[in-house]
Each structure stands twice: as structure tokens, then as C-alpha cells.
């Protein structure tokens, strides 16, 4: 009976240790999304730069595009911004969803860092972000010409992500027929 008193806590520590070791091997950026492979949620919101103009998913129908969810208060968004600029320079159309952000702050961010976006929808209350399953900013989606979400990246894009994940998939999707 005394041995059991010592072996039970030891067994619990070993089991917890195994779970921790397995957890350390997982990639925290790989957040499964039930939206991948599904039609992109439709939205229409005021444009960040011109609130009288409405923008939304209908604007990029028939194109392979990136939808990037960002905010001026997001430190990681500043980190990924040069990657977005480079992707835009390479001809990848990027549409923005300015998430839970003050309009003036979003415009100041783009004014100081340059603007890689075709347009930016202003999602002040975050309702569209919720429909897209946004956990936080930044998040990037690749949408095919049929309007289906084909990829979701959580966190800031790196040059490596752009080179090995984003650009090859965009090219592949551009080659697919409707």
C-alpha cells in the first residue's frame, strides 16, 4: 500500500510530462479553421478611406486574393507589413479588413507604413471578423476565384511564409479553371 502512495503521483507526473512534450512539438500558428474549403462569408462594410463607399466580398469575385485582417494597435501587424508590401509588389491583390480599430488610427498606420491593400473594409465592431472566425490580428486568408477559402494563416506573415506557402498557392489557384 505504501508503494502505491508513491507510484501514483509519479505516474501522474510522467503522464503530464508526456502531454507537455507533445504540446511543445505543436505549431501554435496552425489553428484549424472550419472555414477552409468553404465559401467565404459575405460582407459589405464602409471603406476605411471613404466611409460613404461600401466594399465587400463581391469586389473580388472571380479573383485569387488575400484577405488580411489587421489593426493599427496590433504590433504583429507592423511586423508583417513589409511582407504584405512585397506581396502586393509581386502582383498579389490584397484586401484588408481593419478590425476593431479607430478609423483615424488605421489611416495614420497606412499613411506612415504605406498601403499594400486594394481597399480596406472598416470593421469597427468586429462582427465581420467573428463571421470569419478571427481569433486576433493579424490573420490572412487566401480566397480562390470561386469565392472559397483555401488557406488561413494565423499570426504575422514572414518572408518565408510568403515564399513557401502564399505565393505557390496563389499561383496554383490562378492556374485552376473555374
Tell me the CATH number at 53.
3.40.30.10
126-178, pLDDT tens digit by residue?
999 999 999 899 999 999 999 999 999 999 999 999 999 999 999 999 998 77
Asked if the structure places residue 52 within a domain, the reply is: yes
Q: What does the block give as the cell for 161?
A: 511564409
Asked if the structure places residue 23 within a domain, the reply is: no
Asked if the structure places residue 6 within a domain, the reply is: no
- What distance in Å separates the CA atoms of residue 55 and residue 104, rounded to the nearest whole number? 18
Of 116, 155, 118, 157, nearest to 135 by C-alpha is 155
**65 within 8 A of 91, measured Cβ to Cβ:** no
**135 within 8 A of 122, measured Cβ to Cβ:** no
59-90, pLDDT tens digit by residue?
999 999 999 999 999 999 999 999 999 999 99
13: confidence class by pLDDT, cuts 50, 70, 90: confident
DSSP character at residue 42: P
Q: What pTM value is reported for the model?
A: 0.82
Asked if the structure places residue 102 within a domain, the reply is: yes
DSSP character at residue 64: -
SS3 state of residue 65: strand
Mean pLDDT lowest among 6-15, 20-29, 37-46, 95-104: 20-29
**33 within 8 A of 142, measured Cβ to Cβ:** no
**124 within 8 A of 101, measured Cβ to Cβ:** yes
* pLDDT reported for residue 19: 67
Residue with cell 488605421: 106
Contacts of residues 56-59 at CB distance under 8 Å and 24 or more positions apart, as own/partner, are 56/121, 57/147, 59/95, 59/118, 59/119
Of 128, 127, 113, nearest to 72 by C-alpha is 113
Residue 47 lies in domain: 36-175
Q: How many domains does the chain have?
A: 1
Asked if the structure places residue 20 within a domain, the reply is: no
Overall average pLDDT of the 111-132 stretch: 96
Asked if the structure places residue 29 within a domain, the reply is: no
Asked if the structure places residue 111 within a domain, the reply is: yes
Amino acid at each position: 500500500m505504501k508503494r502505491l502512495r508513491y507510484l501514483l503521483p509519479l505516474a501522474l507526473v510522467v503522464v503530464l510530462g508526456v502531454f507537455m512534450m507533445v504540446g511543445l512539438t505543436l505549431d501554435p500558428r496552425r489553428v484549424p479553421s472550419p472555414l477552409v474549403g468553404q465559401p467565404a462569408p459575405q460582407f459589405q462594410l464602409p471603406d476605411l478611406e471613404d466611409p460613404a463607399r461600401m466594399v465587400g466580398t463581391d469586389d473580388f469575385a472571380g479573383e485569387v486574393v488575400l484577405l488580411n485582417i489587421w489593426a493599427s494597435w496590433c504590433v504583429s501587424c507592423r511586423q508583417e507589413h513589409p511582407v504584405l508590401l512585397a506581396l502586393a509588389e509581386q502582383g498579389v491583390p490584397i484586401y484588408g479588413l481593419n478590425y476593431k480599430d479607430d478609423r483615424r488610427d488605421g489611416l495614420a498606420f497606412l499613411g506612415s507604413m504605406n498601403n499594400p491593400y486594394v481597399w480596406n473594409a472598416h470593421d469597427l465592431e468586429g462582427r465581420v471578423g467573428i463571421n470569419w472566425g478571427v481569433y486576433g490580428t493579424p490573420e490572412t486568408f487566401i480566397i480562390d476565384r470561386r469565392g472559397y477559402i483555401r488557406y488561413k494563416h494565423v499570426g504575422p506573415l514572414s518572408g518565408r511564409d510568403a515564399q513557401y506557402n502564399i505565393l505557390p498557392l496563389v499561383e496554383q489557384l490562378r492556374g485552376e479553371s473555374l
